[in-house]
Structure 1
Amino acid sequence: MIIGLTGGIASGKSTVSKMLKDEGIPVIDADIVAREVVQIGEEAYEKVVNNFGIEVTNSDGTLDRKKLGAIVFNDEEKRSALNEILHPVIRNRMENRVGELKEKGYKTIVLDIPLLFESKLTNLVDKIILVYIDEDLQRKRLQNRDQFSDEEVEVRLKAQFPLKEKIKWADEVIHNHGLLSDTKEQLVTILIKWNCLPRS
């Protein structure tokens, strides 16, 4: 089974991802793949620099993800242009990784995709787990974690569908407001229900 793990910015999805790995389930992280495909020499890197200019690179030529992020978060057209470059490449690489893991005998594989719904990638997965927190807590965590201003927080939240909207599309929801042990218990319950625990 291919499980899609998603959430919102600062919802605690990375924590759940680590818990899955601790259970022996391989996780393919879309954010890591996104960083790989824009390394110098990669086709997507060339396309990004050609589209957004040399000013989105560091002095050593590597992509300055912060500068690029600042541009696309504030401009929907530019965000769409970046997505058109990156999404097909990221998708192909993730599908290749799934194939490799299946060949190694893994029965359950998790695709950790923050923008699973926004990027219309739900057809890559069989089931979806959403990591949910309410919006007020999401704002607080985002400000504490990244030292964002109120305006920066709003820009980032608007770039994603609200978590309460995503609930209706998920197969299971993990409510991540309490203790880590509560979050873990919810996750294990879901994995047992789906018969996905390698150790069970």
Structure 2
Amino acid sequence: MLKIGITGGIGSGKSIVCKCFQLLGVPVYDSDTRAKWVMNFDPELREQLISTFGPETYDAQQQLNRTYLSQRVFHDAEQLAKLNGLVHPQVRKDFYRWLDVNIQAPYVLKEAALMFESNAYTQVDHVLTVSAPIEVRRARTLLRDPHRNAAQVDAIMDKQLSEEERIRRAQFVLYNDDAQLVLPQVVQLHQRFLALAVDKSIL
């Protein structure tokens, strides 16, 4: 099975692009959503998180306390590294289980905002990055997330790879810059990925 990673900075619109691929019948693994699920329901990981960050990691309903955890790690590189070191391996395992369920698909997409930062790119054959100018991404994020201000959005961007670096490291680029239509680019990439999947199956 061909595995395509899809990434992009905050506000790039990668979730919309993924929905377009899903309309074409392509299975999409959403790393962020699955990470939240794993952090809530994987007993081993829950125990590790409580041991590392304290019982406040989960609320009275035993649900992940994302606000508390974010406050603990966002401005502390060492704590963030600890969190990633616990969560990312479990998400990798979850992805492989998901692949077994979708084994009949010619190709799948794995969506991850931190595709390169978390080394998730090592699990895929090629990476597609969704690109948009920083000012466009900032405006979209502020519109989507009214609880955030411009400084908070910029702080998130600063923790992600630069647009130039993501493009340099990706094999495919889709431009979601409000100047180029997304759907024709998705259809074209879909045809390319199907052809690559055929080539891989022959090999």
Same fold (TM over 0.5): yes
State how far apart, in whole Å, the 2-side matches of 1:183 and 1:13 are. Answer: 11
Q: CA deviation at 1:139?
A: 1.5
List per-residue Cα deviations over 1:6-61 (Å, max 9, x = no partner). 11111101001111110001111111210111115621122112211122322212
Residue pairs, 1:54-65, within 5 angstroms: 54-65=55-66
Amino acid across the alignment from 2:105 = Y
2:5 match: 4
Question: Which whole-Å CA distance do the structure 2 matches of 1:165 and 1:12 have between them?
Answer: 18
TM-score (norm 1): 0.90
Distance 1:46 1:158 in 2: 31
Alignment map for 1:21-170 (pairs within 5 Å): 21-40=22-41, 42-102=43-103, 105-147=104-146, 148-170=148-170
Residue 71 of structure 1, CA deviation: 2.3
Task: Work out whether residues 73 and 155 of structure 1, in 8 Å CA contact, stay in contact via their aligned partners in 2.
Answer: no
- Secondary structure at 1:96 match in 2: helix
Query: What is the count of residue pairs matched by the alignment?
Result: 195
State the secondary structure of the residue aligned to 1:109.
strand
Task: Flag structure 1 segments of 5+ consecutive residues without an equivalent.
Answer: none
Write out per-residue CA displacement over residues 114-144 of structure 1, whole angstroms, 9 at most, x where no aligned residue.
Answer: 1110011212111111001111111222222
Structure 2 counterpart of 1:133, one-letter code:
A
Shift of residue 197, structure 1, vs aligned partner:
10
| Unmatched runs of 5 consecutive residues or more in structure 2 | 198-203
Amino acid at match of 1:119: S
Q: 1:113 to 1:32 in 2, by over 3 A?
A: same
What does 1:152-191 align with in structure 2 at a 5 Å threshold?
Answer: 152-178=152-178, 182-191=181-190
- Normalised by the length of structure 2, the TM-score is 0.89
Contact 2:45 2:87 in 1 (8 A): yes
Using the TM superposition, name which of 33-42 and 20-29 deviates more.
33-42
* One-letter amino acid of the counterpart of residue 166, structure 1: R
C-alpha RMSD of the superposition: 1.9
Measured in 2, the distance between the counterparts of 1:197 and 1:184 equals: 20
Q: Give the drift of 1:196.
A: 5.4
Runs of 4 or more above 6 Å deviation: none
> SS of the counterpart of 1:178?
coil
Q: 1:178 to 1:197 in 2, by over 3 A?
A: farther
How much does 1:73 deviate? Answer: 1.6
CA distance in 2, matches of 1:26, 1:41: 23
Judged with a 3 Å threshold, the aligned counterparts in structure 2 of structure 1 residues 100 and 196 are, in CA distance, closer, same or farther, namely farther
Q: 1:40 to 1:108 in 2, by over 3 A?
A: closer
